[in-house]
Amino acid sequence: MKNRNTKFKMAFLLSMVTCFSLLAGNPENGNKEGALQLYCSEPQTELAEILAGQYMKVNPDVLIQVRTPGTITGEELAEASAIVLGNKACLANVDRNEDVALVVGRDVIVPIISAKNPYVDLIRQQGMNLDQFTMIYAAGSPLSWGEVLGTGSAAGVKAMVPANACERAYIEAYLGTETEVETATNPDEMVKKVGANPLSIGFCNLACLTKLEREGGSESIALVPIDVNGNGELSHIEDIYGNFQELGHGIYVGKYPSELYTRIYALASAGRTPQGTAFMEWLLSDGQEQVALAGILPAEYSEKTAGLRALTPVPEELGVEKENRATLILLVVLAMALLAPVAWLIIKPAGSGLSEKKKTTVAAEAFKADESAHPAGLLYDQSHTWAIMEQDGLARIGLDAFVPGITGKLTRMEMKNAGEQVQKGEVLLTLVQDGKRLEIKSPVSGEISSCNEEMSGNPSLLYTAPYEEGWLYRMKPSVWKAETNNFLMVDDYSIWLKGEVSRLKDFFASEFSAADGSEKVILQDGGMLMEGALGECDPRTWENFQAKFLK
């Protein structure tokens, strides 16, 4: 009997192996396609040549031709074998509605000073704001560090910029003015010059600094934190300069001035060849090392996983191959259906039967913020807040059900005090869960008249009654009509919120790899989001959520 069972098991395993071999088999052997055409704008020529050279090195049967037209128009994508590489400005004329566009990296420049600068500790603590950078780079005559930092020092500032035209354009866009200072021909020269002069300041390519850090050559310089809001100190949100990796992530989630970097995209036609798809997949995997070698900050993990998913569908041009594979899949399904009873007889445990009791589990609640009842009469803002003008001329402000529903139970809330002034878009409330934080922005400007005192001792009201007992503040608005002009009434808000929930599913899908099982915590059977899903995530995911949903 034992030998008989063994034979059944072997036959079953061999059948399964045969089925999956059919499914995985590729009917085509060898490369029968023409050369890939890699179009790029002039600033991305070096990147394109590095990528093409390395890809052909590891795939000797593939030919890639790098082309640099004067202007990228989008007509290049009419070729199934074409891929376009460029930044947002270079791709402004390209209609990307039917194409695949992947973020492959970022071209970033960051301000640096000498590690021997006498004010390095002060600068690290409070950062430098736009006005201070403008004073240095737009001044008609040399300034002292004392004039810039307000310290009284007479030591003069030595300012430099990269000779690279694109990087210099980033700086001038940030400053809003042209610069007339000494230049450095490349990042290595910039680091060398700034590191050697304790009074110097410059801008350098971040990917090159990251490379120097790995190789042990960045000790002579220090990053200059940018005080984005100009209040003379680095807030929790602005404190992203602990190391180059932390800074790179801060740039990704929107904590760095957008003028000082640009995304680099790779575009391919929806009807691209399999060879084109393979190259795009390589760009987001092994090719990221080559992206870094070209001085480009590689894409973030979630961007790479989202990009690889976007490449998964088989192009319509390959209809015949799709039909063949569909037939194979059907055969596999039928074979497995026939083998299933045999498999059950072979592998079922002794004594098992249909009368065996099933194990039961308690399912978590589903996240249904888009299906909840939202009161009519309130004005809803896309910052996930609501407001209503009351008879005494004060506005009552609260948070919608979306945010507390997805965060779950909070540890505490940090609220403003009565009498404080707040501007639209400034932080109005901070939600804290075991050290993880979300900042809620004010929907209107004005003076806080009173706070809901119940909230400090019972933050769960945000979850149980966000539109009633869970209100946040009463405010005296300063420009109510102008600032609420684009707010949504309940019907439009309900439609918009359904889009937010759909976007939230995409967000979690891009944050987690299905391979590590993380999505099982976030999504229930049927793809429903779990109530309090964000509470299961780490601080970095909270930061990404902040950047994507609570700007």
Domains and CATH numbers, the chain: 107-260 (3.40.190.10)
Whether the predicted model's global pTM rises above the 0.85 cut: no
Provide the 3-class DSSP secondary structure of residue 103. strand
The whole-angstrom distance between residue 470's C-alpha and the CA centroid of its chain comes to 31
The reported pLDDT for the residue numbered 95 is 63
Confidence band of 278 (pLDDT split at 50, 70, 90) = very high
More confident residue, 16 or 146: 146
Percent of the chain with pLDDT strictly greater than 70: 77
Compute the distance between CA of residue 172 and CA of residue 177 in angstroms, rounded to an integer: 5
Helix (H) / strand (E) element for 54: namely: helix 45-58
CB 254 within 8 A of CB 547: yes
Average pLDDT over residues 203-227: 87
Is the pLDDT reported for residue 351 higher than 90? no
Compute the distance between CA of residue 291 and CA of residue 50 in angstroms, rounded to an integer: 8
Average pLDDT over residues 410-436: 90
Mark residue 261 as left, alpha or beta (left: phi above 0; alpha: psi -120 to 50; beta: remaining).
beta
The reported pLDDT for the residue numbered 308 is 82
pLDDT tens-place string over residues 81-123: 788 888 877 777 666 555 678 889 999 999 999 999 999 999 9
The number of C-alpha atoms within 13 Å of 97 and in the hemisphere containing its C-beta is 1
The reported pLDDT for the residue numbered 368 is 66
Compute the distance between CA of residue 381 and CA of residue 383 in angstroms, rounded to an integer: 5
Average pLDDT over residues 124-150: 87
Alpha helices in 348-373 (DSSP H): none
Q: In what order do the strands lie in the sheet with 436-441?
A: 412-415, 427-433, 436-441
More confident residue, 190 or 267: 190
CB 89 within 8 A of CB 96: no
| DSSP 8-state symbol, 227 | -
Report CA torsion sign: 204, 206, 212, 217.
Answer: positive
| Angle, alpha carbons 231-233-239 (nearest 5°) | 120
More confident residue, 237 or 172: 172
Report CA torsion sign: 269, 271, 275, 277.
Answer: positive
pLDDT tens-place string over residues 227-275: 988 888 887 778 888 887 788 878 877 788 989 998 898 888 777 788 8
Alpha helices in 410-538 (DSSP H): 453-457, 461-464, 480-483, 490-511, 519-522
Compute the distance between CA of residue 197 and CA of residue 175 in angstroms, rounded to an integer: 23
CB 299 within 8 A of CB 290: no
What is the identity of the amino acid at 88?
K
Strands 379-381 and 182-184, by their bridges, are unpaired
Backbone angles phi, psi at 398, to 5 degrees: -150, 180
pLDDT tens-place string over residues 10-69: 555 545 545 444 444 444 433 445 788 898 877 888 899 999 999 999 999 999 999 887
The reported pLDDT for the residue numbered 9 is 53
Compute the distance between CA of residue 53 and CA of residue 49 in angstroms, rounded to an integer: 6
Confidence band of 395 (pLDDT split at 50, 70, 90) = very high
Compute the distance between CA of residue 341 and CA of residue 418 in angstroms, rounded to an integer: 71
Backbone angles phi, psi at 217, to 5 degrees: -120, 15
CB 442 within 8 A of CB 424: yes
Counts for the chain of helices (H) and strands (E), in that order:
20, 19
pLDDT tens-place string over residues 73-84: 667 777 777 888
What is the identity of the amino acid at 132?
Q
More confident residue, 371 or 403: 403
pLDDT tens-place string over residues 535-544: 878 888 888 8
CB 432 within 8 A of CB 412: yes
Average pLDDT over residues 4-10: 52
What is the identity of the amino acid at 430?
T
Compute the distance between CA of residue 105 and CA of residue 82 in angstroms, rounded to an integer: 20
CB neighbourhood size of 461 (10 A): 18
The reported pLDDT for the residue numbered 318 is 39
Average pLDDT over residues 478-500: 90
The mean pLDDT value of the chain amounts to: 79
